[in-house]
Amino acid sequence: MSGRLVIAIDGPSAAGKGTLARRLAAHFCLPHLDTGLLYRAVGVKADRLGLPPEEVAAGLQLADLLAPDLRTDVAGQLASKVAVLPQVRDNLLNFQKKFASQKSGAVLDGRDVGTVICPDAPVKFFVTASAEARADRRYQELRGRGVDTIRPRVLAEMAERDRRDSERAAAPLMAAPDAFLLDTSDMDADAAFAAALAFIARKGFRSSGP
Ligand code: DC
């Protein structure tokens, strides 16, 4: 290995960055932070308690991250709305930076990891896919979980969230200039993982495992 391995993974919703992040974290034995979960927890708690999101972000507790309804699309929309607020982002910044600075190295995925949270990460990915491919995946996932929805609604809600995440002034979704672009439109999770491993190896990092 050459130095501390920090892997920053950004991209729009349902592009496959969460799956890739979990697999890379397991492969390299690194702690993983899904930064979207922080915004989901803030959005859901602020909405439930009628509190200012900035205040919720400032006092976010570990227990808030374990709330049962954080993975829903409603939570995703709430997260995207509170994520435009600069003070919310500021209040979550230190925790994320601290996580990334652990001695062990780390994997973080989100929207601004490579640009704002860890601009010096030695390995950055921008994981994307066509809107059609992402909507298909999300639709299948929701149907698999027994959620009653229709594909056009999934596509419209995803487009709305992507637009808000990309057009906001504070830390918008964008690829870091030194990120490796991984378009997963025609790739399954195994192919994306293999491509990511090959890039990481080119950067001089190898798994210490078998
Ligand atoms: O990755 P996710 O779908 O769980 O993220 C939910 C929302 O949180 C996303 O639409 C925008 C916001 N988010 C953000 O602004 N910055 C991050 N680093 C992660 C998520």
Q: Which residue ranges form the domains of the chain, and what is each CATH number?
A: 6-199 (3.40.50.300)
pLDDT at 150 over 60: yes
pLDDT at 209 over 90: no
DSSP track, 77-107: HHHHHHTT-HHHHHHHHHHHHHHHT-TT-EE
| pTM above threshold 0.85 | yes
Q: Is the CB of 39 under 6 A from ligand 1?
A: yes
Q: Which atom of ligand 1 is nearest to the CA of 112?
A: 18
pLDDT band at 11 (very low <50, low <70, confident <90, very high): very high
CA 197 to ligand 1 center in whole angstroms: 24
C-beta separation of 108 from 24 below 8 A: no
Averaged over 197-207, what is the pLDDT?
93
Q: Is the CB of 79 under 6 A from ligand 1?
A: yes
Q: Is the CB of 110 under 6 A from ligand 1?
A: yes
pLDDT tens figures, 33-85: 999 999 999 999 999 999 999 999 999 999 999 999 999 889 999 999 999 99
pLDDT tens figures, 102-130: 999 999 999 999 999 999 999 999 999 99
